A = this chain, B = another copy of it.
Amino acid sequence: MELWYTEEQTDNVRLSIKVKEHLYTGKSDFQDVDVFESEEFGKFLTLDGLMMVTEKDEFIYHDMITHVAMATNPNVKNVLVIGGGDGGTVRELTRYPFIEKIDMVEIDKLVVDVSIEYLPITSSKLSDPRVNLYFEDGIEFVKNAKHKYDLILVDSTDPIGPGEGLFTNEFYTNCYNILSEDGILVNQSESPYYDQFSHEMKRAHSKIKNIFPISKVYQFHMPTYPSGHWLFGFASKKLDPIKDADFEKWTSLGIKTKYYNPQIHVGSFSLPTYVQEMLDNE
């Protein structure tokens, strides 16, 4: 049966994935939510028709959003996850026994419900006792938060629709304010390759570097995202992701990872010249 999920990555580029079954379709107050079964990628989740997570390569994204910061500061106790409704980021965080609290703020409860039902691979640890789920707007949450966090992971969609406010000066400033002295902010930073994505990448980085003393960008290979070339931003009050990384301690934790390792941690901050220039020129 020829059923193809097609993402219009740009007006001129389409990625199509053969689908075995359309497992779920629903509509929340915020977006369309769909789950598909495919031969190539296993199950995958889309929001407003855009690829979010596949069983085949979610490990790449979740390794890279989590372990770079955790190896930089393997003393993190309190973590805030903004977005991340599929649960994969939380799953990686729960592997650190010394983390005491994980607040996850996902605006769209439907994404969590659907992930729990269809994507146990990512959502399995949402029931960890350290995890507190807040189904509310992350923008408001960081404005009103009373406690400090050692780490904030912004696991957001593109800056269109519900994700838009997560790419503003106000949001980044509020993140700064609720971070502890050693605090780190990691945020989904789009891609350098296609214009519409690099435009957002530049805007986000330009804002963050005015707020945080340390602001860098690191890259990874994410085959199901447009161009396969994706970025996270790393910002902190004082910790440098390379100089301050404690790989000895991280390695001693014995956490098995399929993408992340200390070498790629370092290597991922080495950006192509054209990407570095885009970031510098903002």
B25 x A18 contact (CB < 8 A): no
Q: Is the CB of B274 within 8 A of A270?
A: no
A40 — which chain B residues lie within 8 A by C-beta?
10-13, 194
A259 within 8 A of B: yes
12 of the cross-chain contacts (CB-CB < 8 Å) are A2-B5, A4-B4, A10-B40, A11-B40, A12-B38, A13-B40, A15-B16, A228-B228, A257-B273, A260-B272, A266-B270, A267-B270
Residues in A lying within 8 Å of B, measured CB to CB: 1-8, 10-22, 25, 32, 34, 36, 38-40, 46, 48-49, 57, 60, 193-194, 219, 221, 223, 227-229, 257-261, 263-264, 266-274, 276
User: Given A227-B223, A228-B221, A229-B221: A48 and B16 within 8 A (CB)?
Assistant: no
Q: Are A21 and B18 in contact (CB under 8 A)?
A: no
Docked Cα-Cα span, A9 to B223, in Å, equals 12
Residues of B near A263 (CB, < 8 A) are 270-271
Number of copies of this chain that the complex holds: 4
A21's closest neighbor in chain B, by CB? B25
Is A60 in contact with B272, judged by CB distance below 8 angstroms? yes
Which residues of chain B have C-beta atoms less than 8 A from A21's C-beta?
22, 25
Task: Check B25–A17 contact: CB distance below 8 A.
Answer: no
Contacts of A229 in B (CB 8 A): 221, 223, 228
Q: CB distance A1 to B273 under 8 Å?
A: no
B13 engages A14 (CB within 8 Å): no
Per the bound structure, the CA–CA distance linking A259 and B270 in Å amounts to: 11
**Contact between B270 and A1 (Cβ–Cβ < 8 Å)?**
no
User: Please, which residue of chain B has its CB at the minimum distance from the CB of A56?
Assistant: B193
11 new A-B contacts at CB < 8 Å, known A21-B25, A228-B229, A263-B270: A1-B48, A2-B6, A3-B6, A20-B25, A40-B194, A221-B229, A228-B228, A257-B273, A259-B274, A261-B273, A268-B270
